[in-house]
Structure 1
Amino acid sequence: MPQFIAPDTRIHASFLDAMKEFTEEGAGERSLLLHEMEEFGGTWHRPEVFAAYVARLNAEPLEETPRIEGWVPNTTLWYVEGETFLGRLAIRHRLNPFLRELGGHIGYAVRPTARRQGHATAMLAASLPVARAIGLESVLVTCDTTNLPSRKVIEAAGGVLEDQRGGKLRYWIRTDG
């Protein structure tokens, strides 16, 4: 049964396969993985680089962790079945101006070969108690106005449409279920 885990080096091979899928579909150009693909994409195959990447992801929730100017603490969860990487979800601990306008608290991605199996819906629903534990009473989740599957995922999780800005639909979801 799929579940969330903290990023873990034992998922290395499957993670690389998933990143190849994202790259082949062109998702890296518009996904939450863009920055990471640009920084690590050519070196993720090296075990020491992947271990450093995993360590960095697991340190991101800490306030004192160095990060790019303007970025906020972030909890990354990988959605896996056994050692198969199915997707990832990021919970941003607070909103900066960009996130408030377009990015939101939660971003998620399901690898192309695992789509249309209910994983995104399960991931978003399972992330709400985690967001609540971080201290978020409600979360902003956005999607492109043209992304009907993501819109359905957000609405299934209880998303209430606030408005549309910059080509994004902006939904609020209570974390207390």
Structure 2
Amino acid sequence: MSLWLERPGLHHEAAWLDIVGEIRAAEEPIVPYSLTLDLDSYLDFWHKTEQYSNGDNLGDKVRADTFFLMGDQKPGRILGAINLRYGLNEYLRLYGGHIGYGIRPSERGKGYATAMLGLGLKECRRSGMKKVLLTCETWNRASARVMEHQGAVLENVVNLGEKRFARYWIEL
């Protein structure tokens, strides 16, 4: 199976509604947050991702790109999403990192997260980044394994209220 990353385009609306609907039906949080940006309209979501990518109207946010993971065995179906952040604000430095990613519930356990992170790391290299910070809550061993499989090294664990976040670095 061939996998690749695609920037959100207007032609992805039905596939976006499908993945967001599946995640909501599973009563799970939307991960990465950038998959919806808390917006219910695809057009609003698309415009906002364009703003983040261009560095427009960021406020306290950082420039970022969101990509959909696509595959040739399931044409037109979004398998997951990854958000690449090209800088770190205070919150991201401690708890969020440079990269956030998630796979739709029906496609987990198939190696897609590891492949998607690998593709995301290539994009980070291409943009000139030398190392990236990734985080996950300490209970999320599946995400930690994905990061470790891509060469991530645990730096430390930090607390945010009752949540504990493992902080990993990957040298590019």
- TM-score bucket of the superposed structures, by smaller chain: 0.7 to 0.9
1:89 CA displacement: 0.3
SS at match of 2:32: coil
Matched-pair contact (CA < 8 Å) for 1:8–1:54: yes
Corresponding residue for residue 6 of structure 1: 7
Q: Secondary structure at the match of 2:102?
A: strand
Which residue number in structure 2 is paired with residue 56 of structure 1?
48
Higher helix share: 1
For 1:69-148, list aligned pairs within 5 A.
69-81=59-71, 82-148=75-141
Residue 25 (structure 1) shift: 2.4
In structure 2, relative to structure 1, the CA distance for the partners of 1:132 and 1:35 (3 Å cut) is closer
Question: What per-residue deviation string (whole Å, max 9, x for no partner) do you get for residues 137-172 of structure 1?
Answer: 000000110001101100000000000112011000
Aligned letter for 1:72? V
Q: Quick check: 2:97–2:135 contact (8 Å CA) kept in 1?
A: yes
Structure 1 match to 2:148: 155
Extract structure 1 runs of 4+ deviating beyond 6 A: none
Ranges in structure 1 where 5+ consecutive residues have no aligned partner: 45-49
Question: Which residue number in structure 2 is paired with residue 47 of structure 1?
Answer: none
Q: CA RMSD in A?
A: 1.8
TM-score, normalised relative to structure 1: 0.85
Matched with 1:26 is 27
Aligned length: 164
